[in-house]
Structure formats: C-alpha cells, structure tokens
Amino acid sequence: MVLSSVNSGRTRPSAKVGGALIRLRARLAAAPRLVSWLLTVLVAAFGGLLRFIRLGEPRAVVFDETYYVKDAWTMLLTGEPRNWPKYLNRGGLDFPVDTMFADGDTNRWLGSAEYVVHPPIGKWCIALGLKLFGGAGNTFAWRASTAIAGTIAIIIMIRVALRLFDNMSIALSAGLLMSVDGVGITLSRTGLLDIFIMVFVLGAFDLLLMHRDWARAKLQAHYAVDAARRNAHWVPDTSRRARRMQRKRLAATATEATDADASSSVQTVERNQSMLLDARGPVIAFSWYRAAAAILIGLATGVKWSGIYFMAAFCVISVIWDAWERYRAGYRSWLSTGLLCDAPLTALYMLPLWAGTYLAGWIGWFIHPDSYMHDWARNHPGQGVTWLPEGLRSFVEYHVEMWQFHTTLDSPHDYKANPLTWPLQVRPTSFYWEELDGHPGLCSLAPHSQCVSAVTSLGNPLIWWLGSLCTIIGIIIAIVKHGDWRIWAVLAGFLGGWLPWAQYLHRTTFTFYSIVILPWIILAICYVGDQVRQRVSTGTWRIVLAATLVPIMLVSGFFYPIWTAMPVPYEFWLSHMWFKSWI
C-alpha cells in the first residue's frame, strides 16, 4: 500500500506515477499524428522540388499565360486588367508583345479595360506571386503562385486519403501520385488558372470530410443520451440494409447449425431484429467546417465558373452523408430529418457564403469606374434587368456576355479535346514547343540531332489509365457490397468536375482542364488499393504497392523533361509520343 505524505506537502508517489502514465499515454497518442505530418511534409517537399526547380524556364509566355499573367500584372498595378497590343514597334520592326514581355518590357499595356471571360480570383492569385517574387520581369514570379498551389494540393491530398482510408501507406501513395503526375506538374509550373480551382475544391472536400467526422461524433454522443431515457421508444429497423444484414446472419447461423436445431436458430435470430430509436437526433447542419468549405468553393467559382458544379455536387453528397450517419447512429427518422431539416438549413448558410465570396472577388470591378462594361447601364437605359441599380445591372449584363462566350465557344484549335476523352489523356495539350540553337542540356548527348524544348500537359498515362479503370472497379465493388459511403467520395470529383462538361461536347475544351479531377482519379486508385489491402497479408500488400508505384515513378521520370521544357534531342521527345494524337 502506498502512503501519502500530506502533512509534509510532498506529492504522493501514486500521483507521480499516475501523472507520468498520463503524460506517457498522451505522448504515445500524439506520436502517430506527429509522424504522419512529418511524412506528409516530406512527400510534399519532394513534389515541391519537382515544381520549383527551373520554374523560370522557359523564359517565354507559355500558352494562355498571354492572358492571365499580363492580366494579373495590370491588375496589380492599376486595379483592373488592361488591353495589350499584339505587336510593338522597336527599331522600326514589329515585335510580338509576348516576346517583349518575356524579355522584361512589361509596361506596354493600353489604357482601356480588357474584356475578360473569367472571374478575377485566379488572376489575383497570380498577381500575389508577382508581388512577392520580383514582378513581371521575373518569369519565376509568373508561376510562383501556381507552384505553391500545386504543392499545397499534395498536402491536402494526403490528409484527404488518410481521413478516408485510415492507412498511412495509402495516404502517402496518394500524395506521391499527386506529386509525380504530369498534369499536376505542368499546371503547377505554368501561369494558368485551373490549378487554383483544384486546390480550392480539394480543400473544401477535406473540410466536408471533417464535418462528417464531427457530425458522426455528435450523433453518437446524443444517441447515448437519448437511448438512456426511460421513455425512449424503439422500433424495428425494416430498411433494406437491415433486412439484407439479417439474411446474412440467418444464412451464417443456418450453415453453422445442425439440421436438428437450424430451425430454432433461425427463429432466434428473427426475434433479435435491429432496433432504431424513434427520435430525430441533434441538428448537425451547421459546422465551421462546412462554412469554410462554402468559402473555398466560392473562391474556386471566382477562378472559373466550373466551380458552380462542385458546389452542387459537394453539398448534395455532404447532406447525404449526414442522413446516413443518422441512420448509422441508430435514429429512425434519418431520411426525413436529412431532407427536411439538415438540407434546408445547410443551404440557408452555405449558399450565401458561397455567393458572397464570389461577389467579393469582383470588388475591384465595382470600385474602378473604367472597368469593362462598368457604365453599360448608364449608356443603355431601359435595357437589361431594369429593376436593378445601375451598377448591378451592368454587372449582370457583363455576366450575360461571359455566359454567351462560354456556351458558344467552338472555334477550331489544334489541341481541342472532347471532354469524354480527358480521363484517358487522349489529346494532351502542347503548351510550348521551341527548336533551340546549339546543344545545351541533354542535347549534348546527341550532337547531330535537332535540340528542342517542350512543355506538354500530358498526365502520367499509368496514373490516368489505372485511375479510370479503378473508378469502374470501385463502382462495381460498391454495388456488390450494396453501398459504401467512400465511393461517393471517389465519385464526387467526377460528378462536380467532369460530368457537367458532357453537356458542352461542341465547345472548344482542352485536356488540361482535367486537373480538377486528378485528386479523384487518385482516390479511385486508393479505394481499390484499400480493398486489396484488407484482403491480403501485409507482405503481399507491400509487393502490390511497390509493383504499382515503381513503374509509375519510372514513367514520370521518363516524361519529366518534356513536362518542364528541358532541352532534349528531337528523337528523345518523339519517343514520348506513344500515339499520333499526342503529337
């Protein structure tokens, strides 16, 4: 027996031991979390290196940087995007303005406001990089924000996968796949907008998963209290899922029982039906996670309007998850409460937050009197939505023009790609191609060959082909297993980021738009991988993991030079063009 020394004022030995044990348990509990974050940062650092090394190359305006980088620069200096001439005279000769801009002559914009067809948030993100890293005279600064966004996406990807599958090997694999994919790398190294949509919606999705975890914990806590009440009323669970599970239990019982007592066993199981609590449970519609998710999707919509589809898909899926968690907790009125209570309350605050965030991105347009179409209402009395104030009437009419542009754009382009082919990377986009003089870099290995430099936005084919296959397999698994909430996590990106484009098959679109579904291509691989992991031994799982990741890493190493504008012999570049549609 341990005696205390109360009178001496000393701490009891038992208290010392107990405190030490509590501290030890706390440290042990914190250790896996600390290790997981350390590994997350290491994988993100690897992916960041792939994005930041030689980020300033090529020293040229790449693809649509001609719009977004120059717009961002004039927004930074004047508050609004400005028009630029196509050519400038220098020494009696006309030079393309893009060439002069890349050479450091960056202040030749015109005084008139430019008609831009995308909201301002993405260009403000690029402008922040220009501000922090030396201005438009530094090509590194053009792409700094996209490289940072691409690196942050790796971190979020790992945390999303860990939250979904609760396995560090799968989570780190997800981050590694994000790190080495070609679409992710090229969009992180080019001053375009789409990488920002991806990181905003992926962050929003992570927050919605956090909301789900919070809602589950709250439901379980309230269920324990509600079930303990004396007047708690119970009803049988007659749902299809309950009947299906009951049939499985009956079959298992009948198989294990002898012929003599099989009938008795079946009757016993039938009497022990699952019971549900006849109550609605707590309100779980609001959480700060959901509020923050609405803001992030508002930012994504403020980059490009395609963020609207993510808002619709994510909200629906999140409300379905809420209802399902009510059922799993044991509440009878899970469906009606989800549809009639949680859904309207969720919309009541998420929609205003989302819309308000989008509108906040246009503050510059409202406060600058020379912004594009700012005075349209004043110059067109009696036209447009006449009951609105002049400023809002001009704003709405501007959006009508943007809508007409996006829904009717069908101009021919060499790299136009049908949205249905994006997951298979059938027609990648060539961002940059240049024949170089001399034999710099890897070209020195082939002195008799033409030296070229290219940026080809082509995803790692193994990742995209395997991910497309795993999406189909995942759906089949979910059907066979009669549902799995995580399959909706896998399909969320496809529903919000890819499927809506099926209504615009006539429109001029490009494969690099598929960056927004890259996280869910990877999650599809993780989903099937998790199914395999649960069914095989640890040793077999490690072999499967290595057999998947090693070839993918080798293919990424092979393609990296043509993702990053490294000087290479023409024959080396041609060896990467596995199909004619890739050229």
- Reported confidence tier of residue 9, pLDDT bands at 50, 70, 90: very low
Q: What percent of the chain has pLDDT over 90?
A: 69
| Residue 5 pLDDT level (bands cut at 50, 70, 90) | very low
Region 327-335: mean pLDDT is 85
Q: What is the pLDDT of residue 6?
A: 39
For residue 430, give the nearest of 583, 568, 566, 576 by alpha carbon: 583
Q: By the 8 A CB rule, do 468 and 420 touch?
A: no
- Give 72-128 pLDDT, tens digit per residue: 999 999 999 999 999 887 777 788 999 999 999 999 999 999 999 999 999 999 999
In whole angstroms, what is the distance from residue 366 CA to residue 360 CA?
Answer: 10
pLDDT tier, 551 (very low <50, low <70, confident <90, very high otherwise): very high
Pairing label, strands 451-457, 275-277: unpaired
Distances (CA, A) of 227 to 223, 280, 333: 6, 12, 14
Distance CA 86, CA 90 (A): 13
Q: Is the pLDDT of residue 21 over 70?
A: no
CA 256 to chain CA mean position, Å: 48
**How far apart are the C-alpha atoms of 189 and 195, rounded to whole Å?**
10
Mean pLDDT of 30-44: 87
What's residue 228's pLDDT?
79
What tens digit of pLDDT does each residue of 483-539 get? 788 888 899 999 999 988 888 888 889 999 999 999 999 999 999 999 999 999 999
The model carries a pTM of: 0.89
